[in-house]
Amino acid sequence: MAEKKKTESKTKGKPKKANARIPKDLTVRVCVGTGGLAAGSQEVIDEFYSELKSHGLPPCIEKKCVNKTGCRGFCAKDVLVDVISDGDLSTYQFIKPDMVSRIINEHIIGGNPVTEWLVGPDYHTFHDKQTKILLKQCGQIDPEDIDAYTGIGGYEGARKALSLTPFEVIEEVKASGLRGRGGAGFLTGLKWELCSMAKGTPRYIICNADEGDPGAFMDRSVIEGNPHSVLEGMIIGGYAIGSNHGYIYIRAEYPLAIERLEIAISQATERGLLGKNIFKTGFDFDIKIKQGAGAFICGEETALIASIEGKRGMPRSKPPFPVNKGLWGKPTVINNVETLSNLPSIITNGAKWYSSIGTEKSKGTKVFALTGKIKNSGLIEVPMGISVKEIIYDIGGGMERNRKFKAVQTGGPSGGCIPASHIDMPVDYESLISIGSMMGSGGMVVMDDATCMVDMSKFFLSFTQHESCGKCVPCRIGTKRMLEILTRITEGKGREGDIELLLEIGADIKLSSLCGLGQSAPNPVLSTIKFFRDEYEAHIKDGVCPASVCKALRRYVVNAEVCKMCGKCFRVCPSGAIKWEPKKKAEIDKSKCVKCGACFEACPFNSIM
C-alpha cells in the first residue's frame, strides 16, 4: 500500500497517455561518465523511466529504450542526451530532470524535437575533425553490458588473435606501428617481442591506468565508457607474450572506473572470455585489479611494479628492464589503457588499416584532454600529425573571450610548451620532442595572453616536486632548488643569474635523475625559458609581470581621465588604500595597497589599471 501511494504521488499531475504511440526504434542514450553523473545524468535517466512508464510503456521495453553510455567527449555540455526516433538522431545538451517530460511529449510521442535544447553548431565542429577509434563506442554502448560490446564486434579481435600464433600476433602489432601511449612512445610490438624472448616464467602483462597528470582524464574516460576494450587488449597482449596473468593498476580516486572494470571482468569470466580455456583454444588468462594510493610516481613502470608487490612505490635503476625482470622478477610487459584499447581494432581490421592513419613514424590516433583557456574543452581523439592550430581553432573553437593564443602545454607536468609561433606544427612524437615537449599521456592545456609563463612553470614544477619520491638527490633536491628560484622570481625578488641557474640545474636533473619522471621534471621551466625568456627578464630586471598575474608585482593605478568619481573602489578596499571624496577622483596609496584587486573588480568603468 505504501509503495502504491508513493508511486501515485510521484506521477501526480503528469499527463497520462496509456499506450501512447512510441516509435519502434526508439533509443534514448544518456551519458553516465563522471562528468555526466556530476551534472545529474542518473536523475535524468530515472525521470525518463518514470515518464515513459506513465505513458503506458511496459518496463521490460523501457529498459531497452533508455541506455547508459560513457563520455562522448564534450563534457562541458552535460547532461547530453541522444534521442533516436524513426531513424533520426537528435542530441540534446544541458538536460535536467524537469526537461524530460517535454522531450517525451513533443519529440518522442509528437515527433517534433525541442529545437531550443538541441546542441548547436559548436558541438558538431568539435567532433567533425576527430578520428575516433578508441572513443567511437564510448558514447554509444552501455559500459556495464557485455552484450552491448559483443553486439558491435567486441572480443572478435581476441578470437582472431587466438587463432593465430603468438609470433603472428606480435608481427601484426609491429606492422601496425603502434607506439606506447603512456608517454615514451616505445614500439608496442617490439616491447612484446623482447618480453616473449625473455627467460623465465610466469610472464605478466600490466595495464597502467595510474593517470596522475593534472587535468588529464583520458584513461579514466576510456575505462568508464568501454572497459571491455581494455580487457580484450590485455587478452591479446597476454597471449602474444605467453602470459596467463594480467593486472590493472588503477588509482583508487577512480571509483566509477574501478566499479565498471569489476563488472566487466565478472561478465567476461561468466561468458568464458576470461579464465580457463578461452574460446576453447587451451589459453588461460585471468585479470586482477590493483588499486593505487594516488602517488604520481607510480605511473613510472618500476615504481608501479613495486607497488603491486606490496612495496613502497619507488623506481629502480634500469637495466634490467621490466621485459626481462619485472613483476616478482619475471618478464613483464606494461602498457597503458590507450595502447591496450587500440589492439582489438588493429587485430580485427589489420595492421595496414591502422598504419594508414597518422604519420610515417607516428601511426594511429591520440586521445587528448583539451583544457584551459579554450571555448570547447573536453576529450578529443585526433589522427597523429594534425596541427596544433586545427586542434585549437577547428576542434576547440578558439580562445575564450577571443583572447590571443599564447601557448599550449603538452605532456602534463613532464612536458613543455608550444608557443604561438609554432602553432602550425604537427602533433606527433618526433615534432613534440624536437621543440622540447613530449606527447606524454595526453594532457593538453591551452593558455592565452593573460597567462604568466613563469607562474605556469612554477605550478607544474611545484606538482612534480611535491610528487617526487625522494629516492635520488637530483630530483629530490634539484626540483626543490628550482622551485625556490621560481617562487623568488614571482615574488619580485629575482636576481641576476637566476635564469642561467635554472638552466644549469634543469640540465643536471635531466642528465642524472633515476627515472623518467625526474628526468622530465624540468621540461616546463626549460621550454618556457626557451620561448618566453623575456617574461623571466621582465620579472627579474623590471619588477613587472607582463601578464599581471604575479600578485607581488602588481601595481594598481587610477586613470584620472576615465574615473567617474563613483566611489565604488573606495567602498570595497579592505586596507584603506583608496583616497576618495564625493565629486573627486580616486587615488591609490601604494604604501597601503595590498594588491588584492578588489578595486579593479569593482570599478564598472575600467578606470583602474
**pLDDT for the residue 19:** 53
Which residues are registered as beta bridge partners of 505?
Answer: none
Kindly state the cell numbers that stand for 590.
Answer: 601604494
Neighbour tally for 561: CB within 10 Å: 7
What contacts 473, CB < 8 A, 6 or more positions away? none
* 518-564 pLDDT per residue, tens: 999 999 999 999 999 999 999 999 999 999 889 888 888 888 888 88
Ordered structural domains, the chain, with CATH: 13-119 (3.40.30.10), 146-355 (3.40.50.11540), 365-448 (3.10.20.600), 453-542 (1.20.1440.230), 555-609 (3.30.70.20)
Quickly tell me which residue has 623518467 as its cell: 516
What contacts 65, CB < 8 A, 6 or more positions away? 22, 26, 27, 28, 52, 57
Torsion of CA 413, 418, 420, 426, to 10 degrees: -130
* 552-587 pLDDT per residue, tens: 888 888 888 888 899 888 999 998 989 989 988 988
Calpha distance 575→40 (Å, rounded): 42
Residue 506 has what DSSP assignment? H
Residue 399 has what DSSP assignment? B
Residue 359 — very low, low, confident or very high, per pLDDT cuts 50/70/90? very high
What contacts 186, CB < 8 A, 6 or more positions away? 179, 180
Of 160, 159, 196, 193, the residue nearest 178 (C-alpha): 193
**pLDDT for the residue 61:** 56
Quote the distance between the C-alpha of residue 10 and its chain's center. Answer: 39
Which residues are registered as beta bridge partners of 89?
Answer: 84
Question: pLDDT at residue 401 above 80?
Answer: yes
Residue 123 — very low, low, confident or very high, per pLDDT cuts 50/70/90? very high
**Average pLDDT for the chain:** 91
Quickly tell me which residue has 596609496 as its cell: 589
* Helices 227-241, 255-270: inter-axial angle, 10-degree rounding: 60
Calpha distance 34→358 (Å, rounded): 30
Using CB atoms within 10 A of its CB, is residue 98 exposed (0-12), middle (13-18) or buried (19+)? exposed
* 34-68 pLDDT per residue, tens: 999 999 999 999 999 888 888 776 654 555 788 99
* 136-175 pLDDT per residue, tens: 988 899 999 999 999 999 999 999 999 999 999 999 999 9
Distances (CA, A) of 487 to 160, 448, 468: 56, 22, 18
pTM of the model: 0.90
Which residues are registered as beta bridge partners of 317?
Answer: none
**pLDDT for the residue 5:** 39
* 264-315 pLDDT per residue, tens: 999 999 999 999 999 999 999 999 999 999 899 999 999 999 999 999 999 9
